[in-house]
Structure formats: structure tokens, C-alpha cells
């Protein structure tokens, strides 16, 4: 195995022979590249050899479940990855086209230690990547990703004998059976099922019908060109489309899924788009009645209600705010024995006895239906309105290059901490504290807050603000946070704003 050559470029002789891998594709908790501009098929084979080498060095049994999402190039990329895994002496169990949570499920179903899922998640077409893990239900975090990056980029992948390939039938059916169990709805429920023509279209409608839900289809024909919108239930375009479908059909709610099915978005019966952290509080209220004194993990982008909601306090809930990112959250849920973790991006981590601890949009959808079944006199909007009122922004992402964003963020954190230490105000209120576990979460004296952190997946910063007082205060918090951000000339325009 020769070292990956950075000078390899598309449409050259060496591009068809030698590995090309852009180093920035190795992110905090998965790997993502533009294909073929940033990685080629030999590069993906080098990644497979590196991943297999990492398994062997760590003493992991050399068996792995591998799947791919529904994009026209994902099968070729998966096959290139498999070739590298087999070179490393790994026994590959190919589960075929899959959702990411179906691949995680396969680790349990097939009793294998490792998983590699070829997916660009919610990124638009032109992107690819791999989510991988060795310690179910966990996936690689920063340490594992750094180790893998060094093996691959240094050309340290080690071929070994014993590699094999097997295509495994029936995992999709077993996954759906595991989700549904023997549950059926006891109340009528009409749900807009929105998949944005992504991989979840092959799963979600069938799951809803199995539990007795009436399905209103919304872009549920598999189409890897994504002709309507990119499947991402955090994006307002998808949420607005879901809301329009609810209003047109008179549905009880809409549930929408991202490109690889590990996230779920919710719109209620009034067409109100409920951000995922608020859905998490609604679910935590319901689950904490069944499981008093439970611990719930929330990421730093999430609402302050996990700590302040009187209903959760009454049920003895302990809130733990942690680093954003599906690998960070999964690991935290497992480490502290939490019942569930909720991330504002729509990743939910439902642990035993509800789920298996990994993020699964389909599991969330089933549990939301079960929650409504347990509350037959309540609508989704009733459950939303029962929460204390807060005003929050969408997740906003100003551009900042991958090579610059962490240094920029470090300077922004220092500036915001300095404001606090100097006794300066934000949105005309005193700053109570600045939490720096993951970027800077600036908390005001009334519990309102604003956050800036670096995206782990894309060349962006991430900005979220929430007020417990008013929309005007929320906008003031954003304006003051943005004013600090604008002191950094390397930060570009927002993808969306308020």
C-alpha cells in the first residue's frame, strides 16, 4: 500500500490507480468528503484498509456489518470500502441498502462488533462519507477518528489474510420487526410521512402502517436526485413543506426523516414546526412518568427547559448538557446510564428499555406515536402548548472554512468569556455564565442564552439563541452574538437567519 498522494487530481491516470483523500474529511465523529473532488475510489479502499487495520490493532474481532444509503454512487463507494476491509483480513457482512440505524441494529442482530455505514447523511448529493463504530451502540469519536486518519494518511494500512465477503439477507425485515414489536395504536392517528425521496422512503411508510397509523405520503418515492428538497428535517424548507401537508390533509402531525434515517423532525396538528429539542422535552415529560428520576442528556444547542421545566423537576429528572455530535451524545448516554439523549439537530438516543442507545429516526417516530396513544385526549399541539413558552432561533450556520473554523471559534470563545469577566451585558442583561464544553453557550441571568460553536460536519460555525422572555429578546441575543462573530473576517454569510 503506497501512501495517499495529495497531488492526485481527478481525470488523471493516477486518479484511477492511487488513493486521493482530503485530510479535512476526517471529522470529529464520522468521515465526509465531496465525491469525487475530495476522495476517489482508491481512496475509499485505502480507508477500508485503514479501518480494518485499526480493528486488528485494537484487538477487535475481524467481522464488520457494512451498509449504504440510497444515492446513485453509494454502492460503488461501499464496494471500494469493502475491498479495503477484505485486504485487511476482515470478514464483511454486507447488509445492502440501509438506514444508518439499520446498520447499527445489524451489529446486535448479527452479533458483530463493528459497523461501517456509507452515507452522506443529510448532506446534499455530491457528498459521501462513512459512519463507523466498534463498541455498540457507539460510533467513532474524536480519538478514534484521529487514530484512523493517521493510519490512512500515513499509509500504515496493513494487509492481512482471512478477508471474506457475505451478503446477508433479511436485516431490513428484522429491523422493522424490532421497531414495531407487538404494538398497535388504540386511537386513530393520521400522520404525514415525509422522507424527501431519501432512503427512509423504503422504511417509514411501512412502519407506520404496521402500527395502525393512517399515512399521508409526502415525497415517499425513492429518488436519489432529491427532486423536491434535500431530506433534512432541521432545514426550514422541509419543515415548511411538512406543515403545508398537515394543513392540506388535516393530519394529526407530520414526521420527517433525513437522508440516512437517523434523525426525525416533527410538525404538529396546527402546522407548527416543533424544534427537536422541544420535542425532546415533550418526550422526556412522558417517559419520566414511566421512569421517574431518569437522567436525560441534551446537547449544548438545546433548550434550557430540560433543566428548568417544572414538570420534569416534579418527576425527579436530572438534566445533563453535553457536547453536540451523535458520537459524543451516544457515548455520554451510555457512560452515565441516561434513559435518553436529545440533540437539537433531531438525533435522539433512546436507551434501554426504550431503545438500544443509538440514534434512530424510526424509533423516535414509533415512540411519538406510542406517546400519543398513551395520551388519547391530547393532540401534539396540546403537548407543545403545555411546555413553558420560549422563543428560539433555528440552527444557523455562517460559512467558515474547515481549515479555519476551530481557530476562529477559539478566538470567539475568548471574546465572549472576556465580555462576561468584564461585567458587560448581552441583550441588555447580565451574563450569568459562559459554558465552554463545546464552543461558548452564553447564559443570561434569566436563563436565556446564545451559542456559537463549530460544525463538525461542514465548513460552518453554528449559532443558536433562545429567550425565556420574548421574541424581541431572542433577536437581541442573536444581534449581540452576531456582532462578536462579525469581528472575525473569515466568517461568511448565514445559510438562513431569523
pLDDT digits (tens, 9 = 90+) for 160-180: 999 999 999 999 999 999 999
**Sequence-distant (≥ 6) Cβ neighbours of residue 57 within 8 angstroms:** none
Q: Do domains 14-170 and 181-385 have the same CATH topology?
A: yes
Please compute, for residue 170, the number of CA atoms within 13 A of its CA located in the half-sphere on the CB side.
3
Q: Do residues 102 and 67 lie in contact, with contact meaning Cβ atoms separated by under 8 Å? A: yes
Average pLDDT, the chain: 95
pLDDT value of residue 4: 52
What is the C-alpha separation between 238 and 194, in angstroms, rounded? 8
What is the C-alpha separation between 296 and 321, in angstroms, rounded? 9
What mean pLDDT do residues 213-227 have?
97
Place of cell 481549515: 403
What spatial distance separates the first Cα and last Cα of the chain, rounded to whole Å? 50
Give 192's pLDDT tier (boundaries 50, 70, 90).
very high
**Count H helices, E strands: the chain?**
15, 21
pLDDT value of residue 5: 53
| 227, 247, 393, 289: CA torsion to nearest 10 | -110
What is the C-alpha separation between 483 and 157, in angstroms, rounded? 46
Cell of 453: 460553536
pLDDT value of residue 344: 86
- Judge whether residue 155 has pLDDT over 90: yes
* Given the residues 14, 74, 100, 121, the one annotated as active site: 121
Q: Do residues 132 and 32 lie in contact, with contact meaning Cβ atoms separated by under 8 Å? A: no
Query: Which is more confident, 426 or 447?
Result: 426
Cell of 239: 419543515
Q: Please tell me whether the overall predicted TM-score, pTM, comes out greater than 0.85 for this model.
A: yes
Q: What is the CATH number of domain 391-485?
A: 3.30.310.50
| Of the options 3.40.120.10, 1.10.3720.10, 3.40.50.2000, 2.102.10.10, the CATH number for the domain spanning 181-385 | 3.40.120.10
Sequence length of the chain is 498
What is the C-alpha separation between 390 and 24, in angstroms, rounded? 37
**pLDDT tens, 452-494?**
999 877 899 999 999 999 999 999 999 999 999 999 999 999 9
- Judge whether residue 6 has pLDDT over 70: no
| E strand spans, 163-248 | 164-167, 190-194, 214-218
Q: Do residues 474 and 391 lie in contact, with contact meaning Cβ atoms separated by under 8 Å? A: yes
Give 1's pLDDT tier (boundaries 50, 70, 90).
very low
pLDDT value of residue 3: 58
What mean pLDDT do residues 356-369 have?
98
What is the C-alpha separation between 227 and 230, in angstroms, rounded? 8
What is the C-alpha separation between 132 and 30, in angstroms, rounded? 7
Q: What is the CATH number of domain 14-170?
A: 3.40.120.10
Q: Is 468 a catalytic residue?
A: no
- Judge whether residue 245 has pLDDT over 50: yes
What is the C-alpha separation between 148 and 373, in angstroms, rounded? 45
pLDDT value of residue 272: 96
What are the distances in angstroms from CA 498 to CA 10, 116, 335, 437? 39, 37, 36, 26
Cell of 297: 442528556
- The number of beta carbons lying within 10 Å of the beta carbon of residue 351 is 21
What mean pLDDT do residues 309-315 have?
96
pLDDT value of residue 72: 95
Cell of 465: 439563541
Q: For the chain, what are the domain ranges?
A: 14-170, 181-385, 391-485
Do β-strands 340-342 and 348-350 pair in parallel, antiparallel, or remain unpaired? antiparallel
- Judge whether residue 275 has pLDDT over 90: no
Amino acid at each position: 500500500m503506497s501512501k495517499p498522494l495529495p497531488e492526485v487530481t481527478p481525470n488523471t491516470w493516477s486518479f484511477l490507480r492511487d488513493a486521493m483523500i482530503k485530510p479535512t474529511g476526517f471529522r470529529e465523529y464520522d468521515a465526509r468528503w465531496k465525491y469525487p473532488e475530495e476522495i476517489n475510489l482508491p481512496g475509499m479502499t485505502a480507508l477500508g484498509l485503514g479501518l480494518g487495520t485499526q480493528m486488528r490493532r485494537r484487538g477487535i474481532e475481524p467481522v464488520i456489518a457494512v451498509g449504504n444509503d440510497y444515492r446513485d454512487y453509494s454502492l460503488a463507494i461501499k464496494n471500494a470500502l469493502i475491498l479495503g476491509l477484505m485486504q485487511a483480513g476482515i470478514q464483511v457482512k454486507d447488509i445492502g441498502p440501509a438506514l444508518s440505524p439499520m446498520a447499527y441494529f445489524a451489529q446486535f442482530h448479527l452479533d458483530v462488533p463493528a459497523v461501517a455505514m456509507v452515507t452522506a447523511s443529510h448532506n446534499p448529493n455530491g457528498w459521501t462519507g462513512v459512519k463507523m463504530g466498534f463498541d455498540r451502540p457507539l460510533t467513532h469519536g474524536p480519538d478514534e477518528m484521529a487514530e484512523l486518519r493517521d493510519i490512512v494518511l500515513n499509509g500504515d494500512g496493513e494487509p492481512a489474510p482471512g478477508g471474506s465477503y457475505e451478503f446477508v439477507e433479511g436485516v431490513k425485515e428484522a429491523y422493522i420487526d424490532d421497531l414495531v414489536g407487538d404494538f398497535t395504536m388504540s386511537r386513530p392517528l393520521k400522520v404525514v410521512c415525509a422522507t424527501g425521496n431519501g432512503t427512509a422512503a423504503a422504511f417509514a411508510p411501512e412502519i407506520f402502517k404496521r402500527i395502525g397509523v393512517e399515512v399521508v405520503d409526502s415525497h415517499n418515492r425513492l429518488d436519489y436526485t432529491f427532486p423536491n428538497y434535500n431530506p433534512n428535517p432541521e432545514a426550514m424548507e422541509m419543515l415548511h413543506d411538512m406543515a403545508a401537508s398537515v394543513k392540506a390533509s388535516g393530519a394529526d402531525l407530520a414526521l420527517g426523516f433525513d437522508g440516512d434515517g437517523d434523525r426525525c423532525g416533527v410538525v404538529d396538528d396546527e402546522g407548527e414546526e416543533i424544534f427537536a429539542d422541544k420535542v425532546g422535552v415533550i418526550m422526556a415529560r412522558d417517559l419520566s412518568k414511566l421512569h421517574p428520576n431518569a437522567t436525560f442528556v441534551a446537547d449544548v444547542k438545546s433548550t434550557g427547559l430540560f433543566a428548568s421545566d417544572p414538570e420534569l423537576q416534579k418527576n425527579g429528572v436530572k438534566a445533563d448538557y453535553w457536547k453536540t455530535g451523535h458520537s459524543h451524545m451516544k457515548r455520554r448516554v451510555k457512560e452515565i446510564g441516561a434513559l435518553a439523549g436529545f440533540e437539537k439537530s433531531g438525533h435522539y438516543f433512546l436507551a434501554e428499555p426504550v431503545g438500544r442507545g443509538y440514534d434512530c429516526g424510526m424509533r423516535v417516530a414509533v415512540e411519538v406515536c406510542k406517546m400519543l396513544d398513551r395520551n388519547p385526549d391530547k393532540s401534539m399541539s396540546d403537548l407543545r402548548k403545555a411546555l413553558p413558552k420560549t422563543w428560539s432561533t433555528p440552527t444557523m450556520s455562517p460559512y467558515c472554512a474547515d481549515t479555519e473554523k476551530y481557530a476562529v471559534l477559539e478566538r470567539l470563545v475568548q471574546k465572549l468569556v472576556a465580555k462576561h469577566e468584564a461585567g458587560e451585558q448581552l441583550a441588555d442583561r447580565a451574563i450569568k455564565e459562559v459554558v465552554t464544553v463545546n464552543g461558548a453557550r452564553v447564559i443570561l441571568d434569566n436563563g436565556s442564552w446564545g451559542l456559537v460553536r463549530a460544525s463538525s460536519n461542514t465548513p460552518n460555525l453554528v449559532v443558536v439563541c433562545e429567550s425565556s422572555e420574548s421574541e424581541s429578546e431572542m433577536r437581541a441575543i442573536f444581534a449581540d452574538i452576531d456582532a462578536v462573530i462579525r469581528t472575525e473576517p473569515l466568517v461568511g454569510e448565514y445559510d438562513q437567519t431569523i
